[in-house]
Structure 1
Amino acid sequence: MLCALKHFPGRGAGAAGRIYEREIDLKPFLDLARHENAGLIMFSTQTFPQLDSSAPAHKSKLVHELLRAQGQQNVLLTDDVSSGNLTEAELQAEILALLAAGNDLILLANKGGLSDSQLSVKLRRVVQNILKNKLISAERLEESFGRILAVKQRHNIEPKEIYLNYAL
């Protein structure tokens, strides 16, 4: 079992009128991320104006870089970003923005009133299009894959050899 630390950079710091203080707000994540069972860090969907006034934390390259600058190599993931019945173009733009920010995994719960019965079909086509048209670099994908694989191997979740001989 792995722990996901959440919600980076801290919910309290996103409260109105509260100033983000690195020494106070970053410390719990850095301390807990060293624990042997902590392999994942989930990002908040709130905006933290002191860190990046233009994007919520899960879409902010600045907020992701803040964590990586501390030497963190944990797997970074979004909270649920399901937002209803998106077109494939909208879904692709969302995925590309989340990967560009620095997320390794994207969580789409696809439940409740925002569910989309065609989401898995759309995702497959979007991923195929992203790969076919090289909309994200192979190096960027390898970075995420490497972090995910390292966490899985560290916790004996997956065998040492990974076979990627499948067709999208």
Structure 2
Amino acid sequence: MSSLIITEELKQKAEYYYGDEKCQEKSKFLLQEVGLPRGLLPLKDIIECGYVEETGFVWLKQQKKIEHCFEKIGKLVSYAPEITAYVEKGKIRELTGVKTKELLIWITLTEISLDDPPTGKLVCKTPAGLYRTFPTSAFELEEDLNKKQED
């Protein structure tokens, strides 16, 4: 697994932003563009985010590590101060900086994708190839779920 270091050279090829408000907006937009739930990365106090369209490489830097519980599935997820990944339609691969708690141990996630054919499930994979599936609705923002119910 290759974790890229965010260099000035990389930034020259990227579209990048500073500040929590702008980065929240851009990260949710990107998730939506690749067909993934916009609530998948519930980060706080984002300092910087970037996207290299040519390769799909994405990075997000937040002030400190956070933990978030996805209430609908009872899953605790830890997000490191720096998260990197490659995104493409329906998939996040080579993910770094995200772990989930299984029983009493933290397990690194390296890939999140929509199942094939799409049945409204997300598949979360570990470096060892283990995976679990969850309903995409567990990662949707409340506002998006409400909008879907209205439509």
TM-score, normalization: structure 2?
A: 0.28
TM-score, normalization: structure 1?
A: 0.27
Higher helix share: 1
Higher strand share: 2
